[in-house]
Every structure is written in C-alpha cells, then in structure tokens.
Amino acid sequence: MSDPTSIVTPTAEPTTAINLEDASGTNASFARQQIQTVYEPEINIFVAAQRGDLDTLRMLIESGKAKATDRDDQNITPLHWAAINAQLPACRYLLDQGAEVDALGGDLVATPMQWAARNGYLYVIQLLIAHNADPTITDAQGYNTLHLVTHSSSVMSLLYLLHQPISIDSRDAQGHTALMWAAYQGDALSVDLLLKHGADPNTRDESDLTPLHWAVVKGNRNCIRKLVEKGSDINAKTREGKTPRDMAVELKSLGAWKRALEEGGMLEDGTKKLKPLSERNTKLAIFILPTIFFYLIFTTLRVMPWYTGILLAMAEFFAMHHIVTRVLLNSASYSDGVIQSPYYAGIIFGSLVWVAYCWTTRLVHQTSHHAFAHLMFALAYGLCVYNFIRSITLDPGTCPKPANDGELRAIVEELASEGRLNGQTFCIQCMARKALRSKHCRICDKCVARHDHHCPWVWNCVGVNNHRQFILFVSTLVVGVILFDYLTYAYYSTVNIASEPSSTCLLPDDLCTITAYDPFLFSVACWSTLQLLWTFILLASQLYQVMRQMTTFEVSNLGRYGFMGGRGGQSLASQMGHRHQHAPMGASEDGPAPAHAHQHTGCGGTLLQLTGLDIFTRGRAADGLARARKASNPFDLGIIGNCKDFWTAGRELGVEYDRLYDVPLEGFREARKRREREEEDEGRGRKPKSHFMGFSLSFGRGSRSGYEPVSQV
C-alpha cells in the first residue's frame, strides 16, 4: 500500500528561481490531485481504517490480531489512513484504543494531522488537536500543518488552525510562509484571513520574494489589492532587482496589477490617488449635485425647442455622471465606486426637491379646489421624505462581532465541535458567527440581520432595523407620484391656454399645447412618472414577501438552491468518508465554484441592479417567487402573523434577528407558547428553566433544517 501523500514532491513548493515564461496559476505543481487509493485483497486494519469499517476494526483489535499502533510496510499507521480518508468515527476509535496521535510515517515522514490537512479535513484536524496533536511538526518537505492547510485552500480549516498554538509566519524549507503560499495560489479568502490574523505582508523568502511577488505570479487582483492595502511594499526588490510591477510586466499580469491598485485607490506606481475634496465633502457634493443638475436639465427643456432640448438635457445628465465618477470619485470608469457613493440617493433627493418646488409654486395656487388631494399629497410627501432619511440613517441591523480574541476562539471551537463550522454559520469577512437570515454585504462590509438587499437609492442595506422605513418610503413614493400626476393633470385642465401648438411638435395638439405652456412642470411630471413603474413593481414584490415571511435574498436563494438559506455549508457529515474529490481552485467550502463566464451587463441589467429587481433575474432566481408558496419556511406564521412579525421586528416570533442562530427543534410557535408558560410559572414563584435567546436549553441544540438542506445541517 503506497503513501498517497508522496504525490506532493519537494518541487511542489514555489521555486525561488522563477521561469517567467512558464509561471502561472495552473502550473502550480503542488496543485491538488486525484488520489487513487490501492486496496489490498485481504482485509487488515489498514484497509479497515481506510474504509472506515468500525466493525472490522473492533474485531481485529479486540481479538488481538492487530493494534491501533501497528504500521505497514511504509511505516504508516491505521490512523494515517483513517485521517486521509476523513473517516472520523474510525479516527476516534483508534485514538481511544491508544493510537499515537503524532506518529510519523510514509515517504514524507508526516503525521496523521498533516495527511488530513493536505485535503483540508477540518473535523479530523479538530479531533486530532483535541487529542493533543502538535501542529508545529514539520514533514520531510519542511511543511507544518499550517502550510498544508493553506495548500488545500480550505478556508474554514485555516480559520480553525489559526486559533491554535502555531506561528502564523512560520516558514517551510525554502523560507515560504503560509501567506506566500496563499498568494501564489491566488486564494484571496486565505490571503485575507491570514492578514486579519496578523500575517506579515513584507516577509521575504530565500530569494527575497515577498507575498506580493507571489501574488503577481498568479495574477489575482484581489490578492494583490489585499496585500497592498495591508502595507505590502510595492517597491520591494528580489535578488535580481525586480519589483512586483516588473514581474507583472514579464508575466503578462500588468492588467491585474493596475486594476488592483486602482481598486485600492492608488496609481500604477503606488502613489495615493488625490481627490479634489475631502472624503466628507466628496460625499456631500455627490449628494447635492443631482439637485443642481436637475434644475439645469428641466430649465433646458423649458427654454429650448424639444428637438434640441432633449439632446442637451441628455448631455447634461451625462455631464453630471462624468463629474461624479471621473472627477469627484476619481475613478477610471463610469461605474466604479458609484454604488458605494450617495449618488443615487442624491437623485431621489433632487427629484423630491423639484417636485416640492412645482407643487408649492404652481399646483397649490392653480388647483386649490382639490383640497383633499393636496392634503393627501402633503401627507404622502412628508412621510416619504421622513422615511427616506430614516432608511439612509438607520443602522440596518449590524450583527454583533466577538469582543475579543478569546470570544472569537470560543465561537470557532463551538462550531467546529458541533460539526458545522462553515460559510453559512460563520462570516470570514466579519470574523463573527452568522445569524440566520443574515448576509454579508460586500458594499457595506458587514453582516446585516434579516438582510433583504442593498439599495443604492437609500445608500444603505435594507435589513431588520430599517426594512419598515424602506417599505413606507416606497409606498408613500408611489402614492405621492400618483397624486402629483393627478394634480398636474388638474392644473393643465384649469389653466387658460390660448397659444397655438408648435408646428414641429410630434405629439397630439393638446399635449403640444400643454408642454409649450409650462414645460418645466411637464418635465418634472414626466420624470416622476418614470419612477412609478419600477417602484410599483418593487413595492408589490416587497409586500408579497412580507406576507410570506421572506426577504428578497431568501427568495433568490429559493429559486437558485431550493432553500431559503441557500445551498448550505460544509458539515461534518459531508466530509466523512470523503474520497479526495476537490473543488476547483478558488471554490469556497460552501459549494462548488461557478464556471467562468463573461457576463456583459447592458443598460437593462444596470437598471435592474439599481431598482433591486436584478436579484430575481440571475440564473433561476425568478423561480423563487413561484416556489415561495410551497417552500419550507420555519418562520411562516400565516399572513397576519407574518405581517405582525415584520412590523414588530421579530416580536411575534419572539426572536432577536441579529442573534438568532438556530431554529428551535419544536418550532417557533411551540417555543413561544413554552416561553409564555414559563413566564407564567416564573410569575407564580416557580423556578424557570434556563434560556438562551428565548429558547429553553433543556430541549437541546436547535437546528437549521427547513431553512437549509437537511443533508448539510
């Protein structure tokens, strides 16, 4: 029986002498390979351990035919074979029977934990460390467990190991650190995780290459950007005098280099980009600018003939966008950084300003006989502005983070011991436990409780704390636009228009006359009516989701994965008996990486993104609305109950969404009834049972079934 770890030869590490013509991410000789295990004809303890055959293991050991410390012809123990095949029960049994946890064996003289680490088997690593396995031991190639876990690109295994007693900047035989390996592999998640845990971005190997040099070899712009943002020296030189940029030129990865520095707010030479205004004043200018340009646009349409006014108005709109993106934000394109800025919120604000201007200067005086309509419009407008501001300024529901490293380590240990340390229960970006129904927003860079979507129109995420204000904002916006159009129609119906329509007007005579009489008001009315279509669709979808106790994010997950919570994360059960089938480089442990595809988003796609409706058009996400009625939903209380829970921010269910980590085993209804009974007992002087998050601990740990795939819970 041969040693499967011997497929990783000493040439697997990044060589210090780089062939710049051949270096690429796909040529990494340490890339994970399919391990073909050779089964011996007779059943012995090594084959039984490899297969996870507990009955045979017990029979062999209890009969005295074999021992847990036996070794085969290559000095390999049964624990090695159980570890590399992720046979967790077999590992546990062998350890109970006295197997040596740090036994060295095989061609690479490695420990069982190092065999498991090559494949990123988190729960085997956790079991071995619980039995005092030493992660600092190095094999014949000079790799310790941290290096080997980094090779596997298993980010959760790396997270667990970083909270063990091992130096994050430990070096292999050629001076390479785990950060260098992660950068060389183009593994941005591992690079980010290592940097967050204090890895030195300026360490050098035996050839004076830094992690930034190795990131350039792969050409991954995310790795380059993260290293530069953490202070990696972009002018560091190798023994041959080459900077990372010099290597990028020779390796044809200069495009990734430029893009990474641009995203990091730097020029190609590493100098910081200068903006004309401070950060605060830039945001303020972007927010106010649409109001000014809307005045110019509406005035242009008022004073110019329609055939030149429309073209000039479009040019002015483009000028506004150009000033925001290329001047104030100093971006290289017309899309970078716009979503993160208050630009679209400024468009809403500017629209509200000029609607109010037209109403007070024209409609109030000319249509005074529509008193009730004016009263309703004033009420809708006031509520719209108030809830618009509240949607922007309220915290959407940021999930709590660990207060210190000790608390973080306790969370990691707890999830790992429960067999569910994965991307669904833990957020690598926030370094915190992830609540049910939450999502990490890459724009806001935080996990938001009961996350619905990120809305650029309110310059904020929509979550549990501001979802009600967002619904009221959209509702009153729709009502306000309808009333404004009604009053505008009444205005044009009552004014005495004596002028003849223009001969160049292509509209019917009545419309030509109206537009000629007050083109400013007509332009504002057309602009506001243009917003009515998408806001009405958005409002309808939002109200439907509220009645179904779902969010936009969950409906999208339902269509794509069949479950509100998504595809589920890697669990203990999914690793046991694993047969060395690895995901492609860059895939996360939550699921397979998507196939590479060039996606060209046109004008329609941009509009869908801005309106928040694009989440229903990606892949099979649109199926989510069709499945919503029959889908498994542990939060569903019926239409009335769902609406009550929405407007009370979880009180109907009796939960705090930013700290909700499991569905109670008996369900939310029964958990609430039980809690009410216990509160009554407490009022009568009886001693209540201990609680956590409103659920009795005597019922055992909750689950996530019904929200995520059962096989991965």
As given in the structure block, the two tokens for residue 604 are: 């329609």
Place of tokens 């468009």: 347
Give Cβ neighbours of residue 182 (< 8 Å, ≥ 6 apart). Answer: 150, 190, 191, 194, 211, 223
Q: Coil, strand, or helix at residue 660?
A: coil
Distance CA 487, CA 360 (A): 12
Q: Is the pLDDT reported for residue 105 higher than 50?
A: yes
Distance CA 603, CA 323 (A): 20
Q: Decide: residue 532, CB within 10 A, 0-12 exposed, 13-18 middle, 19+ buried.
A: middle
Distance CA 542, CA 462 (A): 11
What are the backbone dihedrals phi and psi of residue 110, each rounded to the nearest 5 degrees, phi first?
-115, 160
pLDDT in tens, 166-175: 999 999 999 9
Q: Decide: residue 292, CB within 10 A, 0-12 exposed, 13-18 middle, 19+ buried.
A: middle
pLDDT in tens, 402-421: 999 999 999 999 999 998 89
pLDDT in tens, 260-308: 988 888 877 777 878 888 889 999 999 999 999 999 999 999 888 878 8
What are the backbone dihedrals phi and psi of residue 568, each rounded to the nearest 5 degrees, phi first?
85, 165
Distance CA 665, CA 552 (A): 26
Residue of higher predicted confidence among 73 and 266: 73
Secondary structure in 3-state letters for 30-84: CCCCCCCCCCCCCCCHHHHHHHCCHHHHHHHHHCCCCCCCCCCCCCCCHHHHHHH
Confidence of residue 17 (pLDDT cuts 50, 70, 90): very low
Q: In the chain, pLDDT over 70 holds for what percent of residues?
A: 78
Residues in a beta bridge with 454: 461
Distance CA 466, CA 472 (A): 10
Confidence of residue 565 (pLDDT cuts 50, 70, 90): confident
What are the backbone dihedrals phi and psi of residue 317, each rounded to the nearest 5 degrees, phi first?
-65, -45
Q: Cα 156 from chain centroid?
A: 15
Half-sphere exposure of 472 (CA within 13 A, CB side): 20
Distance CA 323, CA 514 (A): 34
Place of tokens 């030129």: 249
CA angle, corner 306, sides to 305 and 311, nearest 5? 105
Q: Is the pLDDT reported for residue 448 higher than 80?
A: yes
Name the DSSP letter for residue 581: -
**Residue 280 Rama label (left phi>0; alpha psi -120 to 50; beta):** alpha
Q: In the chain, pLDDT over 90 holds for what percent of residues?
A: 61
CATH class of the region 167-274: mainly alpha
Half-sphere exposure of 597 (CA within 13 A, CB side): 7
Identify the CA nearest to 651 among candidates 675, 625, 621, 680.
675
Residues in a beta bridge with 691: 696
Mean pLDDT of 188-197: 95
What are the backbone dihedrals phi and psi of residue 142, each rounded to the nearest 5 degrees, phi first?
90, 10
pLDDT for 265 equals: 80
Place of tokens 């490293």: 405
CB-based contact 368:478 (threshold 8 Å): no
CB-based contact 339:280 (threshold 8 Å): no
pLDDT for 671 equals: 78
Sign of the dihedral defined by the CA atoms of residues 448, 449, 455, 460, in that order: negative
pLDDT in tens, 590-627: 333 333 333 444 555 555 555 555 555 554 555 655 66
Q: Cα 300 from chain centroid?
A: 43
Annotated active-site residue 505? The verdict is no
Buried b vs exposed e over 184-201: b needs ≥16 C-beta within 10 Å? bbbbbbbbbbbbebebbb
Identify the CA nearest to 189 among candidates 404, 425, 423, 424.
423
Identify the CA nearest to 584 among candidates 71, 279, 92, 186.
186
* Residue among 455, 512, 526, 643 flagged as catalytic: 455
Q: Coil, strand, or helix at residue 454?
A: strand
pLDDT for 652 equals: 87
Q: Is the pLDDT reported for residue 193 higher than 80?
A: yes
CB-based contact 399:435 (threshold 8 Å): yes
Distance CA 61, CA 66 (A): 5
Distance CA 78, CA 97 (A): 11
As given in the structure block, the two tokens for residue 519 are: 């083109």
Computed over every residue of the chain, the mean pLDDT equals 83
Length of the chain measured in residues = 713
Q: Give the number of other CB atoms < 10 A from CB of residue 517.
A: 16
Identify the CA nearest to 184 among candidates 8, 26, 33, 20.
26
Identify the CA nearest to 450 among candidates 693, 646, 250, 673.
646
pLDDT in tens, 288-298: 999 999 999 99
Amino acid at 610: L
Q: Which of 202-216, 466-480, 586-600, 698-712 has the lowest mean pLDDT?
A: 586-600
Distance CA 48, CA 559 (A): 42
Q: Do domains 20-134 and 167-274 have the same CATH topology?
A: yes
DSSP string, 120-178: T-HHHHHHHHHTT--TT---TTS--HHHHHHHHT-HHHHHHHTTSSS-TT---TTS--H
Q: Coil, strand, or helix at residue 202?
A: coil
Domain definitions of the chain by residue range: 20-134, 167-274, 275-341, 662-713
CATH number corresponding to 20-134? 1.25.40.20
